[in-house]
Structures are given as structure tokens and as C-alpha cells.
Amino acid sequence: MVLVIFWITVGTTWAESLEPPMDIPSSEDTDAIFFDPFDDDGEDFYGNEDQMPDMVADPIAGFNRAMFVFNDKLYFWVLKPAASGYRVVVPIPVRVSVKNFFFNLLAPVRLVNSLFQGKWRSAEGEFCRFVVNSTAGFLGLFNLVRDKPSFNPPEEDFGQTLGYYNVGNGVYIIWPLFGPSTLRDTVGSIGDWALNPFAFMQLIQVDAGVLTSSETNIIAYGVRTVNSTSFRIGDYEALKNAALDPYEAFRNAYIQNRLSMIAQ
Amino acid sequence: MIPKQISAALVVFVMTVLLATAGSTEPMAIIKVPIDRVIDILNDPQYKVAGTKLTQRNQIWKHVGPMFDFDEVARRAVARKWRDFADTEKAAFTDVFAQFLGNTYIDKIQGEYHNEQIVYLGQNYHSEVYAEVKTRIVRETAEIPVDYRMRKKSDDQWKVYDIIVEGVSLVKNYRSQFASILRKETPAQLIQRLNDKLTEQNKRLAENE
């Protein structure tokens, strides 16, 4: 009974506290000051089109559109069949472990870029996860700290580091095989590539035999791509079907996604 | 000892107060209630039978449709060109765009639902009329952040006007597409495009029944 009365009190005071009359402008009134308060950029909907913050320069649109078609065909003709077959043959725990293994292997990339951006907590999380999973997690096959938020900071890369220091996107580029990028993120990807252990050993001229051969690099990239695609078959199709102008939709999504990652 | 009738009346009263406040004030509840229902519908064995997809889709739409303010979604997605739309075009566009979005996303979750869990992280109020509900879809290997941006309407109901998936705003994404189409075409042509897409979609969905 006490509980019930307590609830009444809480319930009513709660209702009262939210009582103050609110001045809600109708849709038409807000037409002129049409904004989304959650956007930092405070975009002016009726401003100059060229100033849309999500836009990216696309001077090589002809090339990009051709590459968009190329990658689309590559997905439907090669990657999707490969990943679908792989998904049937390889059981989930194995696929998860393959994913974990590559994720762990690339920890140096995320760690270094967390440090570059002065994100000490993230770096600490990356470092601890790397140590735990590389040892107790059998070379990264198991992610033992999956449910610990402090061990799972936002993933950093060199493109984000450059963005963090206010380097702009530059131009939009769609690479064959690798997909959408920008000039900045391409430079970033090259930096990240140099930090992956296979490439790094090559660069500092450590001869680890088969591990440092180009074939190993290519095979590793292929396995990683097919494996990660096996978890997201259908996503690309859904996004494409949801679009009226797929080229524009993917370009905008890429830029928005990168902006949000840099902001994290 | 309080007589039974009084305590029963009290309980009813409390429930009413709680439901009323929860209904009109909590943006998160506006999201959570229908989404939990949708997950029940997706797991419901009666829809595991062939030929029930359309019924299931209609059931899902019945719950998620009212979460959204499609007038606001359409207006924001078209943005500055909205002024070039005649009133009838505005209505036609809103209607076809809502159906198109419903079809697209319900088909996606019908085909792809594999016991993902939804985690409700919290809600932020930006002002008295703007709020954001943060959620996360937890898959076997990945977590997908999904934020719902909401506006309180003059009838005191919170409605979603944008969804942000992995940092990508649905409204902004369509805005860039509509802008590029409307640079070359009229509003009527854009509506026609959406109608064509919807027809094609409905045909495909009917075939997959």
C-alpha cells in the first residue's frame, strides 16, 4: 500500500513537473528556421546548395561512377557468391574467430591513431584488449573482453586522425576493389596499411619468410574481406534498394559516416 | 486495513496516471513499445508459415508507422525545394515516400532478423520539443548504433523525424539524393519516380510471398 501511495506521489509530481505549457511552433511557422538541433553544423536548409556540409568535391565523378558500377558487379558476381558459399561451409564460431583474429592483428593501427589524437583512455583500452586477447585469447581468436565497454573504444584510423587535425576530405574517390574513399582517407589507408604487421615487417625489412611475402598479404586481405562480408550479406542490397540515386546515396553515406567517426 | 474496493480503485488510478505520463512524456517509450512488439511479431511462429509475409508486414507497419511524423520526414528530406511543391504534390509525395520507406525497411528486417537484441542506451532532451533516443542493435559480431530523433507535436505526442544509423542520417541521405534529382527534374517527376519504385517493390514483394 505504501508503495502505491509512493507511486501516486511520484507519478503526479512527475506529471506536474512536465506541465509547463510549451510553445510549439507549427510546421509551417518553422519553415524559415528549419533546423535539426542535434546537428552541430546548424545547417541552413534554404541556404546555398554548395554549402551543404555533407557534400564532398567530386571532380572525377566520371571515373567514380565507372568504379561504382565495377565494384557493384564485383560484389554480385564474385564477393557475394564467395561469401555466401563460405558462410554455408564455415560455421559461425570459426567465422567469428577469423574476424577476431584480424581485428586483433590490426590493434596497432587503432592504438597508434588513438595516441596520435591524444585519446589516452581509448589507447589504454586498445592496449589492454590487445594484450588480453593475444595471450589468453589465443592470438586474438577470441575476444574475451567483448562486454567491457572500456576495452572497446571507438575504432580509430589514420584518416580519422587527419580529420581530427582538420584535414578536409579533399576529393571523393571510389577505388576499384576497396570502395569509396576520399583523398584524405586514401592517404590514411596507406598509413594504416603500413602499420599492419605483415606490411610493417616488410617495410622494416624483417624477413619472416612466408609471412612477409606479397602473396600472404593478398591472401590475408582476401580472407578477411570474404569473412567480414559473410556477416553482412544483404546489407549492400538493402541500401541500394532503398536508394533512388544509389551513387549519390553511397557517397553521402560514406561522408556522413566518416564525419561521425571523426567526431567520436 | 483499507477496503478492497478502494485499494483496487487506487491501483487503477495509479496505473492510469503512470500510463498517461509514460505515454505523453517519455520519448524512449514511444520507441521501445512498438519495437518490442515488432520483435514479438518477428518471432511469432504463426508467421513462419509460407504465405504470411504480407500479413506480417502489415502487422509490423501498424506498430511502427505511428512512431513517425512522415510530414516532417518528407519536408526535411526535400528541404529547400519543398517550397516548389504544390500542396497536392506535398501530400502525394509524403504518402508515397512513407510507403516506400515502410516497404524498404520492413522487408529488410523481415528478411534479416536473426535474434538481434535492441539495447536502449538513453534519451537526451535538446529542448522541450526535441529529443534523441539512443539505441544499439547487437548482432553476433557487431553493434550498430541507431539514434531516433524526435519532435514533440502540438498534440503532445513525440514523433520520430529522423533515424541515424552508424552516424548516417536517413533524412540527410535522402536529401542529397532528392537534391540531385530535383536539380534536373520537377517535383511531379520525383513523385513519379517514387511511385515507379514503389510499384516495382510491391511486385517483387508479392512474388516473394
Whether the CB of A34 is below 8 Å from some CB of chain B: the reply is yes
Give yes or no for residue A227 having a pLDDT over 90: yes
| CA distances to A83, A136, A162, B170, B180 from A246, in Å | 23, 44, 28, 14, 11
The torsion of the CA quartet A21, A22, A25, A26, rounded to 10 degrees, works out to -70
Query: Which chain A residue is nearest to residue B84, measuring alpha carbons?
Result: A46
pLDDT of residue A254: 95
> Does B11 contact A242 at a Cβ distance shorter than 8 Å?
no
pLDDT of residue B17: 54
Which residues are registered as beta bridge partners of B148? B133, B163
pLDDT digits (tens, 9 = 90+) for A127-156: 999 999 999 988 999 998 888 888 989 999
* Sequence-distant (≥ 6) Cβ neighbours of residue B3 within 8 angstroms: none
ipTM of the complex: 0.83
B108: which chain A residues are within 8 Å (Cβ-Cβ)?
A: 234, 238, 242
The minimum CA-CA distance between B52 and chain A, rounded to whole Å, is 21
What backbone phi and psi angles, to 5 degrees, belong to B117?
-100, 145
> Does B18 contact A7 at a Cβ distance shorter than 8 Å?
yes
Name the helix (H) or strand (E) containing B95.
helix B87-112
Average pLDDT in the A65-77 region? 97
Query: Which chain B residue is nearest to residue A255, measuring alpha carbons?
Result: B168
Whether the CB of A251 is below 8 Å from some CB of chain B: the reply is yes
Q: How confident is the model at residue B116 (pLDDT cuts 50, 70, 90)?
A: confident
pLDDT of residue B87: 92
> Does B181 contact A245 at a Cβ distance shorter than 8 Å?
yes
Whether the CB of B37 is below 8 Å from some CB of chain A: the reply is no
pLDDT of residue A34: 55
> Does A34 contact B76 at a Cβ distance shorter than 8 Å?
yes
Q: How confident is the model at residue B7 (pLDDT cuts 50, 70, 90)?
A: low
Average pLDDT in the A152-164 region? 94
Cβ–Cβ contacts within 10 Å for residue A155, how many? Answer: 16
Average pLDDT in the A222-235 region? 91
What residue segments make up the domains of chain B, in order of their start?
12-111+171-207
> Does A55 contact B176 at a Cβ distance shorter than 8 Å?
yes
Cα distance between residue A49 and residue A54, in whole Å: 11
The answer to whether the CB of A125 falls within 8 A of the CB of A152 is yes
pLDDT digits (tens, 9 = 90+) for B55-108: 888 899 999 999 999 999 999 999 888 989 999 999 999 999 999 999 888 888
pLDDT of residue B18: 53
Q: How confident is the model at residue B114 (pLDDT cuts 50, 70, 90)?
A: confident
The answer to whether the CB of B131 falls within 8 A of the CB of B158 is yes
Q: Using the 8-state DSSP alphabet, how is residue A59 labeled?
A: T
Whole-model pTM: value is 0.83
Q: How confident is the model at residue A224 (pLDDT cuts 50, 70, 90)?
A: very high
Whether the CB of B20 is below 8 Å from some CB of chain A: the reply is yes
Cβ–Cβ contacts within 10 Å for residue A239, how many? Answer: 18
A227: which chain B residues are within 8 Å (Cβ-Cβ)?
A: none
Give yes or no for residue A17 having a pLDDT over 60: no
> Does B2 contact A251 at a Cβ distance shorter than 8 Å?
no
Cα distance between residue A175 and residue B27, in whole Å: 42
A251: which chain B residues are within 8 Å (Cβ-Cβ)?
A: 176
Handedness of CA A6, A11, A17, A19 (dihedral sign): negative
pLDDT of residue B93: 95
Cα distance between residue B37 and residue B34, in whole Å: 5
pLDDT of residue B88: 94
Chain A interface, best mutation among B115, B169, B201, by max A CB count within 10 A: B169
Name the helix (H) or strand (E) containing B151.
strand B143-152
> Does A52 contact B179 at a Cβ distance shorter than 8 Å?
yes
> Does B172 contact A252 at a Cβ distance shorter than 8 Å?
yes
pLDDT of residue B8: 66
Q: How confident is the model at residue A263 (pLDDT cuts 50, 70, 90)?
A: very high
Q: How confident is the model at residue A6 (pLDDT cuts 50, 70, 90)?
A: very low
pLDDT of residue B206: 82
For the stretch A138-147, contacts whose Cβ atoms lie closer than 8 Å and that sit 24 or more positions apart, written own/partner, are A139/A101, A139/A104, A140/A100, A140/A101, A140/A103, A140/A104, A140/A105, A141/A97, A141/A100, A141/A101, A142/A97, A142/A100, A143/A100, A143/A103, A143/A104
> Does B76 contact A253 at a Cβ distance shorter than 8 Å?
no
